[in-house]
Structure 1
Amino acid sequence: MLDERHQRLPQPDICGHNVVIVRPPMAGNCFAATVVAQMRRTYPRLRFGLLVGIGGGVPTKTDEGLIHLGHVVVSQPVGQHSGAVQYDHGEAEADKFVRTGFLAPPPHVLLNAALEAQVNRLGMPTDPLIAHPNSIDVTKPRLRQYRRPEADQDQLYEPGYVHLDRELSCTDCGCDTTKRINRDANDDDWVVIHRGTIASGEAVMRDGLQRDALAQEQKILCFEMEAAGVLNDFPSLVVRGISDYSDSHKNDKWHGYAAAVAAAYTRELFYHMPVEEVKQCKIAEKGDAMLTWK
């Protein structure tokens, strides 16, 4: 509704932030917690983190439309949740499982950056995010994994239909194509960003029925395996590229591209984080750096 929109006041680019990139040896909350603890001892001036990687999406609908492979889910406080929930932590009572504990919310500077990035994209004729994964030279053998799979590789099966052989693809093991769910086409010219609750646990989610039950109960959009090991001790925003649907039909075809779009979204966030505001963020130790999780 503005008559005129001015450019943002100048500030240093991504080089204006001090960034440390770390990668755990394996997936899992325990590995994540150990690596972050080591990083904080090595770099005592770290302020907050961005947990960037892949995750299993819930095939539900948000304000941005249906969640598809290749989309991005970003943690955001919703209702009683802080943006992330440890779905497998709690107490087993006589007739039910009661989840306990609470994961810390993302820092306000990251939530503000995510909101500003979202608003900024609304009026753009082309997606600024898509340029980053498109700039990867996928003709090189070691970078081919980051190529975006064809649209027919985005397949969702009925929740109760179990994949026949984990060692083989759906085509090779003869999964019933009549069990696939018809969905709206996925736009490959625009990276769709969904914001909401991300579930973290120790085990890989491979059950469509359990996925949907937990998602309905907790309003979950994505499942992953690191956030619960980090968020209680280190304030972070979780960014996950959707590489599968958290069911028995999950495979590796979308892993590379999903990781690339998650990294692209994270890169854009840096342009919406004022350096001075980052420096004012409080943590156990004073400083001007941040941790980025890859």
Structure 2
Amino acid sequence: MPRRRLALEAYRVGWICPLEVEQIAAMDMLDEEHDSLPQKPADHNVYKLGSINNHNIVIAGLPLTGNCPAATVVAQMRMTFPNLRYGLLVGIGGGVPVRTENGTIRLGHVVVGTPTGVHSGTVQYDHGKAKEGSFERTGSIPPPPALLLNAARALNVVREREDHDPVWKDAQRPLKRRRGARRFKFPGVAKDYLYPPQNTHQQPDKSCTESGCDPCQRIDRNVDEDEDEESFVVVHQGTIASGELVVKTAALRDRLADQYGVLCFEMEAAGALADFPCLVIRGISDYCDSHKNDEWHGYAAAAAAAYARQLFFHLPEEEAQK
């Protein structure tokens, strides 16, 4: 079946993927792919176009991770696609192993940035001014658009009432679409390793086994009784922290999490949300400690993309593009 070629004005949703593995997962969530379109000379982005449930979507990656590249990509995207109304920032993030109303945050879970308390859903923890003996965070980030928050709530309701989880089903799409997609497979709870904050990984370029990390030091955590690890993606909602610093120290993770009530850390949301209404969705691929590695990247990216895909089935009819 030949691809459709639509007008630039037909696209209303921008889907931003900082990493290559996240962009692959996003492409696997499309119902159909569209032909590429001419873009303005000042726009250096490379786009993938398509649709989900009749919503036309622009997918863009980032040349580098970080808030500044995210802001640049968003600005150029909006210049070329004049009718974009909102965006999704979808990818992996580092989780804080705390308990929420949906259980304890674990690898492979999804965190959605939603307003809680004094925060809008995202907090830029490294933006502020130094004062004598302290650091004062300044500025604020706008909350996600009400349309997407309402779609997220509608999805939550459906997932509570159905026997089968549509997010889990969509997280398997990369595995069904082509061979060689093994990195998107669910690694299994047995490979979800959490060490005490004081336990440090000694050799950064080697696995925990090669580095000699003692398995007996891992924190023993049982799967929540209401969580079926093989057929359900657990979704947590709350504050996501954004900053230019890669958090790889459990002590720093816990200090910032306690200070701001953070569930997840990432590096692009503050830049993307500065002038574009977005919902931030992150699949948990590590615990922001020295033991972090790439083993969960593929599945975490697929889980986040699957959640994003399901939102398009809960947007109002009038939002569907002709």
Band the TM-score falls in, shorter-chain normalisation: 0.7 to 0.9
- Preserved CA contact (<8 Å) 2:243 2:267: yes
Q: How far off is 1:160 after superposition? A: 1.7
Counterpart pick for 1:253 among 295, 301, 305 = 295
Partner of 1:85: 123
- Preserved CA contact (<8 Å) 2:241 2:266: yes
Q: How far off is 1:206 after superposition? A: 0.3
Counterpart pick for 1:157 among 171, 195, 200 = 195
Ranges in structure 2 where 5+ consecutive residues have no aligned partner: 1-50
Q: Which amino acid aligns with 2:240?
A: I
- Preserved CA contact (<8 Å) 1:90 1:97: yes
Equivalences for residues 59-208 of structure 1 within 5 A? 59-137=97-175, 142-185=180-223, 187-208=229-250
Greater relative contact order (Cα 8 A, min sep 6): structure 1 or 2?
1
* Pair 1:104–1:270, CA change in 2 (3 A): same
Q: Which amino acid aligns with 1:241?
A: G
Q: How far off is 1:143 after superposition? A: 1.1
- Preserved CA contact (<8 Å) 1:17 1:275: no
CA separation in 1, counterparts of 2:317 and 2:80? 22
Secondary structure of the residue aligned to 1:223 is: strand
Q: Which amino acid aligns with 1:253?
A: E
- Count of matched residue pairs: 268
Partner of 1:44: 82
CA separation in 2, counterparts of 1:137 and 1:72? 19
Q: What TM-score do the two structures reach when normalised by structure 1?
A: 0.87
Secondary structure of the residue aligned to 2:181 is: helix
Q: How far off is 1:142 after superposition? A: 3.4
CA separation in 2, counterparts of 1:249 and 1:121? 33
Give identity over the alignment, percent.
54
**2:275 aligned with 1:233:** yes
Partner of 1:8: none
Deviations 1:168-206 (A, max 9, x none): 000111012232111122723210000000000002110
Q: Which amino acid aligns with 1:252?
A: D
Q: How far off is 1:141 after superposition? A: 5.3
* Pair 1:139–1:51, CA change in 2 (3 A): closer
Partner of 1:3: none
CA separation in 2, counterparts of 1:45 and 1:138? 33
Deviations 1:214-237 (A, max 9, x none): 111111000001001011200100
Counterpart pick for 1:244 among 279, 286, 302 = 286
Q: How far off is 1:151 after superposition? A: 2.1
Deviations 1:64-123 (A, max 9, x none): 000010000001000110000001111111111111110010000000000010011111
Secondary structure of the residue aligned to 1:142 is: coil
**2:100 aligned with 1:58:** no
Stretches of 4+ aligned residues off by more than 3 angstroms: 138-142
* Pair 1:177–1:48, CA change in 2 (3 A): same
**2:304 aligned with 1:262:** yes
Q: Supply the RMSD in Å over aligned alpha carbons.
A: 1.7
Secondary structure of the residue aligned to 1:31 is: helix
- Preserved CA contact (<8 Å) 1:29 1:230: yes
Ranges in structure 1 where 5+ consecutive residues have no aligned partner: 1-12, 280-287, 290-294
Secondary structure of the residue aligned to 1:228 is: helix
